[in-house]
Amino acid sequence: MIVVTTPTGQIGGQVLKRLLAEDVPVRVVVRDAVRLPSAVRERVEVVEGSHGDPEVAAKAFAGARAVFWLTPPDPRAPSLEAAYLDFTRPACEALRAQPVDRVVGVSALGRGTPQAAHAGHVTASLAMDELIAATGVHYRALTMPSFMDNLLWQAELIRTRGVFTSPIRGERRMPSCAIRDIAAVAAELLLDDSWNGVGEVPVLGPEDLSFDDMARIMTEVLGRPVRFQQISGEEYKERMMRFGSSGAIAQGLLDMALAKDAGLDNAVVRTPQNSTPTSFRQWCRDTLLPAVTG
């Protein structure tokens, strides 16, 4: 039995789809089972509730051999510790009590870098990894740079004004990855019973690009001018709060962006093994173009 958390989310939903294609037993943890398509509900065991709840986690992990762990975004959380560590602690207690062999979790690049100590959501993610690893379970943290898919929240701005923004410098080249590739790596690990211990699995995408590079590629794929505009940290934080983030979460997002601008995501050496296939150009064709033109 493989447990999938966040099965209605972008990453969790694609992990679930890949596991079902392999016809393995799957149990999902979902706040509202109605959000699952009926065809999916018929093929999985459903545990309803939050996987941050001790009773729900204990029920979900019972008899499972592997767990896909993703801390759901909580933009209104009072602190990053509450959003990541407090949410994860009940699951760690369940992992100590249940005979789960392996956990695959969604985390971030940066461990061991000087920037990681003050990198907002990245710092909290790395601390979450340590909590899970301390349970004694075999653990693989998928360590990611920024997701290409995060640009979708600016699709309307790209469509109406031909611009996207960030506090990161336009010339800073960094890795980025597509959610589809994260799900593919996660599913492969969940299906593999041969790995042991604690480790990280970087998911870097195929190339390093700057936002200026991305603007050029968007212009070519969308057939309309698109430019990148760097904004101040203050403007970025205020924008996140207008979109509903608490002050602590907005500050965490800004701290993460500033750490990335200082080289946080560039510390891992790219190899064929950690370079995933979906290019930014392909992602633009498949995902951004429909979002902007639709």
For the chain, the three-class secondary structure string (H helix, E strand, C coil) is: CEEEECCCCHHHHHHHHHHHHCCCCEEEEECCHHHCCHHHHCCCEEEECCCCCHHHHHHHHCCCCEEEECCCCCCCCCCHHHHHHHHHHHHHHHHHHCCCCEEEEEEECCCCCHHHHHCCHHHHHHHHHHHHHCCCCEEEEEEECEEHHHHHHHHHHHHHHCEEEECCCCCCCEEEECHHHHHHHHHHHHHCCCCCCEEEEECCCCCEECHHHHHHHHHHHHCCCCEEEECCHHHHHHHHHHCCCCHHHHHHHHHHHHHHHCCHHHCCCCCCCCCCCCCHHHHHHHHHHHHHHC
Whether 236 maps to a domain, the answer reads no
Residue 33 pLDDT: 87
| Number of residues that make up the chain | 294
pLDDT, tens digit, 9 for 90 and up, residues 45-103: 999 999 999 999 999 999 999 999 999 999 999 999 999 999 999 999 999 998 899 99
Whether 274 maps to a domain, the answer reads no
Whether 288 maps to a domain, the answer reads no
pLDDT, tens digit, 9 for 90 and up, residues 37-46: 888 989 999 9
Whether 160 maps to a domain, the answer reads no
The alpha carbon of 97 is separated from its chain's Cα centroid by a whole number of angstroms, namely 27
Whether 77 maps to a domain, the answer reads yes
Instruction: Give the CATH number for residue 78.
Output: 3.40.50.720
Torsion of CA 273, 279, 282, 288, to 10 degrees: 120
> What's the structural domain count of the chain?
1
pLDDT, tens digit, 9 for 90 and up, residues 92-129: 999 999 889 999 999 999 999 999 999 999 999 999 99
Say if residue 265's pLDDT is above 90.
yes
Whether 270 maps to a domain, the answer reads no
Residue range of the domain that includes 42: 2-146+176-205
pTM: 0.94
Whether 285 maps to a domain, the answer reads no
